Amino acid sequence: MRALVITLAFSALFLVPLLGGPLKPEWIELSYPFNSETIYWPTGVSFEHTKTMQGFTDDGYYYSAYDIRASEHGGTHLDAPNHFAEGKWTADQIPLDRLIGPAIKIDISSKTAQNPDAQLMQSDLEAWEKKHGQIPDDIILLVFTNWGRHWPDKKKYLGTDTDDIDQLHFPGIHSNASSWLVQHRNIKLVGIDTASVDYGQSKMFESHRIFYKENIPGLENVANMAQLPAKGFTVYAAPMYISEGSGGPCRVFALLDCA
């Protein structure tokens, strides 16, 4: 019966091109480009793009090439669980099916509008569930603080443009929300539109440790989240495939269901 339904469904989808051209997916870009404005953690090496050649060679053809250098954790990037949890997955160990799949968005932008230290709380998750139903299993959970409106203004986005980490102010995920999620729900990946899963004033990085201990990786500095609905979309997170990486640059994009 299941096979029959699948066959009918795919057959119907394949009819669509005959009826007016193929469905053209509209991908939503959720990454920031890497350049001299890309925001890194105050203690990290920023992105360097070094030209090795640009112009016409002696043989008469055009050629351009560059080298790159950066810390793993800047711009739109992956935190592998190993970043804060000994023995858990490094970047290359995360199965692709934990990085791709149905996703939801929890919007706490009304709380962050007046308070850069606002955090996602358990009560915000409960409020989302009251409206949209229980958070599904194997879901990618994105937290929308609307902090992307400050990108790439480092002072506004991080709270400081100095190296003084005590001055960091931006929203994050409170440990009562991360604890509740790992105990009562089954998410496979968490993302946020700020520089860190934990808020700027965190000293002990509780939510990093709570998620990563359970092999739930993180996405930070996710872009353009305003374009996403509360549910009904698929996220594709494609990190640089670094052996023993604690994370790395990550291309992230999404597709709305039934688009």
**Block residue for tokens 């993302």:** 191
Q: Can you read off the two tokens belonging to residue 228?
A: 């996403």
Single residue of 121, 165, 182, 242 touching its own copies by CB under 8 A? 242
Answer yes or no whether residue 2 interacts with its own copies by CB under 8 A: yes
Answer yes or no whether residue 16 interacts with its own copies by CB under 8 A: yes
| CA dist list (Å): 77 to 71, 100, 131, 178 | 10, 15, 30, 20
Provide the β-strand partners of residue 256.
Answer: 233
Q: Can you read off the two tokens belonging to residue 201?
A: 């004033």
Q: Sign of the C-alpha dihedral, residues 171, 174, 177, 183?
A: positive
Which residues from 163-192 bind its own copies, rule CB under 8 A? none
For the CB of residue 111, give the shortest distance to its own copies in the complex, in Å.
27
Which residues from 82-121 bind its own copies, rule CB under 8 A? 82-86, 92, 96-97, 100
For the CB of residue 123, give the shortest distance to its own copies in the complex, in Å.
26
Spatial contact of 108 and 190, defined as CB atoms under 8 Å apart: no
Answer yes or no whether residue 65 interacts with its own copies by CB under 8 A: yes
Reduced to 3 states (helix: H, G, I; strand: E, B; else coil), residue 166 is helix
Choices 107-115, 150-158, 176-184, 201-209 (CB under 8 A): range interacting with its own copies = 201-209
Expressed in angstroms, the distance from the first to the final Cα of the chain is: 27
Answer yes or no whether residue 256 interacts with its own copies by CB under 8 A: no
Answer yes or no whether residue 62 interacts with its own copies by CB under 8 A: yes
Choices 106-114, 154-162, 172-180, 203-211 (CB under 8 A): range interacting with its own copies = 203-211
Beta strands 172-173 and 119-120: pairing type?
Answer: parallel
Spatial contact of 174 and 207, defined as CB atoms under 8 Å apart: yes
Choose between 64 and 114: whose C-beta lies nearer to its own copies.
64
Give me the 21-50 binding string for its own copies, x by CB under 8 A, dash otherwise: --xxxxx-x-xxxxx--------xx---x-
